[in-house]
Structures are given as structure tokens and as C-alpha cells.
């Protein structure tokens, strides 16, 4: 059952978050989001002070990882309180600063990590000292991730890693990587994989940024040549890393902030469309006007998905195929919105300067080009449909 209403305690917490956002508005005086998903290395020097001020303000409230238990440095928020926090942050156009560290590898270590791994990594994630990236996809193993071929061969107290990862978000900014590597080539493909962690500065690790059709580089190729990883940096049992990784993937596909952000971006796009000169405006076209109506309905559906996930988490249930439904709908919705963005500007939407950084201008063409990755990153729509079919509908595997 989905509950849309705040309890008295949740309403009080919402007011607390709103007051916090008002008190910290100096860190976004230019209207820009001070958060950075890949740590301080990804922040422009002229924005670094705002980033650090925002990070320190979050840290003082234990809100860098608000969902973590208090003993791990978090705020111990309930799933509904987390949803309230994410909603209000999204309405204000701000994000957290923890990235992969707080969203994925941190929670995974809390479930599967050793006491030593938690002691070493959780404080560094919490204080923003370490930024993480994820070594998942390979040139021949994307949607079928379990077919990955990067090898980790045991050599005493170390693994020797050789292979390649691709589409690695933020690897050019990251300090550490967590990755899946094959440790038993003779085992069934899901059972011969281990979950490893290591610094990006280790000998044998090299990063090559990939230039996308937008002209920017969000993704990277990462090569491993005889990289030595201590066995103590393995999370979970040897050859059981696939199941550790799937815990992490469920964390990745849950969330509510994106749905609220979609409503906000649609309102902003409509206001910009209204302000266009008459010779540029496309709002008199029924296709565009109906497009805004359809995309607003999409945003409401996406929000319902998010509330459903939140209600499951509040009931101590782990969303699985339900998270895949939300992810697939949301990523395809983003592509529909990007097409509407292009239609709003008409032929002017084709103007594009790849030298301008994303977010500096309202470049419809950038949003359109970037959205092409939405249905691939985080698990392709085809994979999400397979999960929904087999785990949700009980259909046989093809």
C-alpha cells in the first residue's frame, strides 16, 4: 500500500530540510548545484569553495550518507525520511556529494564488507576524501554482464588482474574502483566472479576518456595490466561476487529525486518556451502543447513508481523488479522529454557548441544527444524488461 501523506514527524522533518536549504543558499548563489557526484576533482576551481561549504554543511547534519546507520556516520534516516530529503533537495535543484561512494559501495560494504573494510573505507567516503567509480561493463560484456572476461588470478595473498572495462563513469576523477572480475573461468558464469576494490593509482591501471557524441567525456575505458590487488580487498567470498554486485545494483535503481526533478525541469522548460521571441516560439503548435501534457503525465507516473519503491523500503522490502520498472520508465521518459526540448526550440534547437560545459546554457541539442545513453547506462532497457518478465511476471528465461 502506498501512503502519500507525511506523518507529523515526517512533516516536521520536511520543515527542517526546507530550513536547512534556506540557510545554505549562499553555496548556490549563482543558482548552480554545488553538489558533485565524482568528488572535488570534478569541480571547477572557481566553484570549489561552494562545493566544500555545501559538503561541510551536509556533514554537520550527517546528511552526506543520511541512509547509513548512525554508528557508521550517517543520520539513520528511515526510508520515508530519505524520500522527504531527496524530494526537497530535488525541488531546490541540489544534490548530495557522495556519488557512488554513499549510494552504492558504502551500503554494499555495510551488508557484505568485513569489519576492517568498513573501518578503512566508510569514514573516507563520509568525509569526501575518496571518490569511487564502478568497473562493470566490458567491450564484449555489457547487457550480459555475467559474461565478463577481466581475469583475477590468485597469487598468494594477492590477485593479479588483467583485462579492460568500458563506459566507466567518472573513472578520470575517481580515487578507487570497485569491480567484478572472473576468478574461476571453469565455473558457471555467475559463480566464478569476485568483487574487488583497489586504488586507481595502482601500477598497471590506465584510464582513457571516451569522447561522446556530445563532445564531452563522462565515460572512460580502463585497462588493467598485471594489477596486484590484495585478497583483503575482496568483498564477500571468492567466486560469489556476482551476488554482492547484485545487492549494489538494487541500491542503484532505487530513488525518488529524479521524479521530482523531472517536474521541475518541465516547469522550467515551459517558462523558457513562453519567454522565447515570437519568431522562435513553437508553443502555438498542438504537437508541442500536447507534448507538455503527455510529459507531465509521464512525470506523475514516474513519481508514483518512486512512491511505490519508498513504501516497499518502509516495509523492509528490497525492491527488485519493481526498481527495474521505475528505472526503465524513467530513462525512456527522459528521452521523450529531450525530444520535446528539441521541438520547443524548433530549428534553433539544432544549434550546439560542444565547448560549453553542460548546464551553462540551455542547449536542447546537448540534452537530446546525452539522453541517448539513458536507456543503456545503469542497465539497458532490454535487461530491465528481462528482469520484469522473469522475476515480476514469472515468465521462463529465453
pLDDT digits (tens, 9 = 90+) for 182-218: 999 999 989 999 999 999 999 999 999 998 888 888 8
pLDDT higher than 80, residue 354: no
Query: Is residue 152 a contact partner of residue 196, using CB atoms and an 8 Å limit?
Result: yes
H/E element holding 107? Answer: helix 106-112
358 has pLDDT over 80: no
- What span, in angstroms and rounded, lies between the C-alpha atoms of 299 and 90? 14
For residue 2, is pLDDT > 80?
A: no
CB 210 within 8 A of CB 167: yes
Q: Are 371 and 381 within 8 A, CB to CB?
A: no
Question: What is the C-alpha separation between 128 and 75, in angstroms, rounded?
Answer: 16
Domain covering 132-239 assigned CATH 2.40.110.10 in the classification:
yes
Residues of the chain with CATH 1.20.140.10: 253-392
Domain boundaries 253-392, corresponding CATH code = 1.20.140.10
The answer to whether 322 is a known catalytic residue is no
Residues spanned by CATH 1.10.540 within the chain?
8-97
Residues 105-129, mean pLDDT to the nearest whole number: 91
Topology at the third CATH level for domain 8-97: Butyryl-Coa Dehydrogenase, subunit A; domain 1 (1.10.540)
Structure pTM? 0.83
**132-135 vs 176-182, strand pairing mode:** parallel
Higher pLDDT, 379 or 339: 339
Q: Which residue has the higher pLDDT, 119 or 46?
A: 119
C-alpha cell at 155: 597469487
Highest averaged pLDDT of the listed ranges 227-241, 315-329, 365-379: 227-241
pLDDT of residue 336: 96
User: What's the confidence (pLDDT) of residue 254?
Assistant: 46
- Kindly indicate the confidence band of residue 295, based on its pLDDT and cuts at 50, 70 and 90: very high
Residue 328 C-alpha from the chain's centroid = 14
Quote the pLDDT of residue 29: 72
Nearest residue to 362 via CA among 241, 273, 254: 273
- Can you tell me the distance from the alpha carbon of 265 to that of 259, in angstroms, rounded to the nearest whole number? 10
- Pick 134 or 253 by higher pLDDT: 134
> Which residue of the set 10, 238, 252, 332 is catalytic?
252
One-character DSSP codes across 34-87? ---TT-GGGS-GGGHHHHHHHHHHHHHTT-SSTTS-GGGTS----HHHHHHHHH
Q: CATH 2.40.110.10 region(s) of the chain?
A: 132-239
pLDDT-derived band of residue 255, with 50, 70 and 90 as boundaries?
low
Structure confidence at residue 217 (pLDDT):
83
Per-residue confidence (pLDDT) for residue 360, from 0 to 100: 47
State the Cα torsion 183-187-188-192 to the nearest 10°: -20
Amino acid at each position: 500500500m502506498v501512503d502519500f501523506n507525511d506523518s507529523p514527524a515526517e512533516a516536521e522533518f520536511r520543515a527542517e530540510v526546507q530550513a536547512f536549504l534556506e540557510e545554505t543558499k549562499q553555496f548556490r548563489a549563482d543558482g548552480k548545484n554545488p553538489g558533485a557526484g565524482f568528488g572535488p576533482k570534478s569541480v571547477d576551481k572557481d566553484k570549489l569553495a561552494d562545493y566544500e561549504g555545501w559538503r561541510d554543511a551536509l556533514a554537520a547534519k550527517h546528511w552526506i550518507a543520511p541512509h547509513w546507520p548512525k554508528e557508521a556516520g550517517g543520520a539513520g534516516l528511515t526510508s520515508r525520511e530519505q524520500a522527504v530529503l531527496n524530494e526537497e533537495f530535488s525541488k531546490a535543484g541540489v544534490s548530495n556529494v557522495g556519488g557512488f561512494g554513499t549510494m552504492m559501495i558504502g551500503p554494499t560494504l555495510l551488508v557484505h564488507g568485513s569489519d576492517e573494510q568498513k573501518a578503512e573505507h566508510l569514514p573516507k567516503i563520509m568525509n569526501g576524501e575518496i571518490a569511487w567509480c564502478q568497473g562493470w561493463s566490458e567491450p564484449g560484456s555489457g547487457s550480459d554482464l555475467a559474461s565478463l572476461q577481466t581475469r583475477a588470478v590468485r597469487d598468494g595473498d594477492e590477485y593479479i588482474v588483467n583485462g579492460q572495462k568500458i563506459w566507466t563513469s567518472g573513472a578520470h576523477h575517481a580515487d578507487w574502483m570497485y569491480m567484478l572480475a572472473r576468478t574461476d573461468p571453469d565455473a558457471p558464469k555467475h559463480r566464478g566472479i569476485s568483487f574487488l576494490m583497489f586504488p586507481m593509482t595502482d601500477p598497471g591501471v590506465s584510464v582513457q576518456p571516451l569522447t561522446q557524441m556530445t563532445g564531452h567525456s563522462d565515460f572512460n575505458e580502463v585497462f588493467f595490466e598485471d594489477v596486484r590487488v590484495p585478497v583483503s580487498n575482496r568483498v564477500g567470498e571468492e567466486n560469489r561476487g556476482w551476488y554482492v554486485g547484485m545487492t549494489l545494483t538494487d541500491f542503484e535503481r532505487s530513488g525518488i529525486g529524479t521524479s521530482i526533478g523531472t517536474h521541475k525541469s518541465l516547469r522550467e522548460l515551459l517558462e523558457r518556451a513562453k519567454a522565447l521571441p515570437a519568431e522562435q516560439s513553437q508553443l502555438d503548435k498542438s504537437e508541442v502543447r500536447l507534448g507538455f501534457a503527455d510529459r507531465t503525465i509521464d512525470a506523475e507516473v514516474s513519481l508514483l513508481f518512486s512512491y511505490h519503491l519508498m513504501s516497499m523500503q518502509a516495509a523492509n522490502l528490497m525492491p527488485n523488479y519493481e526498481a527495474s520498472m521505475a528505472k526503465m520508465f524513467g530513462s525512456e521518459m527522459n528521452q521523450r522529454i529531450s525530444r520535446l526540448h528539441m521541438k520547443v526550440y524548433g530549428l534553433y534547437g539544432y544549434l550546439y557548441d560542444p565547448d560549453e560545459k553542460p548546464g551553462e546554457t540551455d542547449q536542447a541539442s546537448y540534452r537530446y544527444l546525452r539522453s541517448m545513453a539513458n536507456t543503456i547506462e545503469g542497465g539497458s532497457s532490454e535487461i530491465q524488461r528481462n528482469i520484469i518478465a522473469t522475476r515480476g511476471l514469472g515468465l521462463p528465461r529465453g
